[in-house]
Structure 1
Amino acid sequence: MSSTLQTPRFSKSASTMLLLAGALAISACASKAPKELPPEPGPATTTQAPPADLGPTPGSQADFLAKMSGSDTIYFDTDKYDIDAMDQDALAKQAQWLLQYPNKRATIEGHCDERGTREYNLALGERRANAAMNYLVSLGVDAARISTVSYGKERPVALGSNEQAWAQNRRAVTVTID
């Protein structure tokens, strides 16, 4: 028993009718013009684009760091707290910024390397912070706007017991506050 699948055969006129019915169905879906057109557009309006990133807020700690580009920190030789020519340039930049923003205050943090006793390093860190503050005051910054703190060897930025790490830790860092 074999069964064959037969495909239906349409006459030519039936095929034409199907084609016409399909065309009519598609044309019925075409959009029609509305009875009333929308109003003509008025003058061009622009929406404000969000402001471009203009950088840090003027007078902020981020602004201070951006303007200092590394000059927020000065470095010292072993067991020293004197301000050398390189430090003078960095402190001059700091003073210029502080004079531009007379309502800003600053804290100068004194730091030391890991060598020496805790007490010795706290005293040395204080001398370093005070040396930086005194230089800023000599450049016209009001001493009442500057405070100092010594962290001694308690907050190293570089870990290690070698000259490179020690040199990075012997520093005074200026941080602005509101």
Structure 2
Amino acid sequence: MRNINRLALVGSMASAILLGACSSTPVAPPPVATAPASAPKAQPAAAPSAAPQVATPAPVSKAELAAYLDPANPLSNDKSVFFDFDQYMVKPEGQRVLEMHGKYLAAHSAVKIRVEGNADEQGGAEYNLALGQKRADAVVKVLKVFGVKDTQMEAVSFGKEKPKALGHDEQSRAQNRRVDLDYPNK
């Protein structure tokens, strides 16, 4: 009987050793390497029993948003020049908008825009395409005065195919007689 008890004891101990060897301990993730924000500071020595210290990531600065994409910037909100009925001469209030965009584009020669001419619903499709093109070309001329290069601009006409306002009254038509400056979305 003694041998049986001894065998049971040895079996129990072997089981405990095997179970202990199979158990897993949580492994801490490796520390994240970050660039120091300032001169490196001496870290206090960690106690041997202390958990490993994980470096906290440095605050990420926001990437600079292009002015024409920033909703708080006038370049983003004021991108249309309006025209009188059957006209393609840029009015004084349009000059102010074009000066703002022209100076920005001249300073950022890598930025390209599409100058989109539009017309209201009155008149035939061909006539309105031609009028929209004349309006786009007039805006391109003004932008060149501020130093914008030809390679930065493409003048196109949508005629009456891209209305801003869908009404059939004079107020809606006035919104559709315009040139829009279309910047890239990136």
TM-score normalized by the length of structure 2:
0.65
User: Segments of 4+ in structure 1 off by > 6 A?
Assistant: none
Which deviations, in whole Å up to 9, do the C-alpha atoms of 1:57-96 show, x marking residues without a partner?
x37x524994414321110111111111111110001111
Counterpart residue identity of residue 107, structure 1: R
Counterpart residue identity of residue 122, structure 1: L
Q: Is the 8 A contact 2:115 2:180 kept in 1?
A: yes
Quote how far apart the aligned CAs of 1:47 are: 2.9
1:38 equivalent in structure 2: 49
Determine the C-alpha separation between the residues in 2 that align with 1:40 and 1:135: 67
Q: Is the 8 A contact 1:82 1:128 kept in 2?
A: yes
Unaligned runs of 5+ in 1: 1-35
Determine the C-alpha separation between the residues in 1 that align with 2:86 and 2:94: 16
1:8 equivalent in structure 2: none
Determine the C-alpha separation between the residues in 2 that align with 1:37 and 1:147: 67
2:42 equivalent in structure 1: none
Larger RCO, structure (CA 8 Å, separation 6 or more): 1
Q: Secondary structure at the match of 1:151?
A: strand
The answer to whether structure 1 residue 121 and structure 2 residue 121 are counterparts is no
1:7 equivalent in structure 2: none
Choose from 81, 97, 100 the match for 2:107: 100
RMSD: 2.8
1:8-157 matches, cutoff 5 A: 38-39=49-50, 46-52=56-62, 56=65, 58=66, 62-63=69-70, 66-157=73-164
Counterpart residue identity of residue 165, structure 2: A
Look at both structures and tell me which one has the larger radius of gyration over its CA atoms: 1
Q: Is the 8 A contact 1:71 1:93 kept in 2?
A: no
Counterpart residue identity of residue 83, structure 1: V
Determine the C-alpha separation between the residues in 2 that align with 1:41 and 1:155: 62
Counterpart residue identity of residue 146, structure 1: M
2:32 equivalent in structure 1: none
Counterpart residue identity of residue 148, structure 1: A
What is the count of residue pairs matched by the alignment?
139
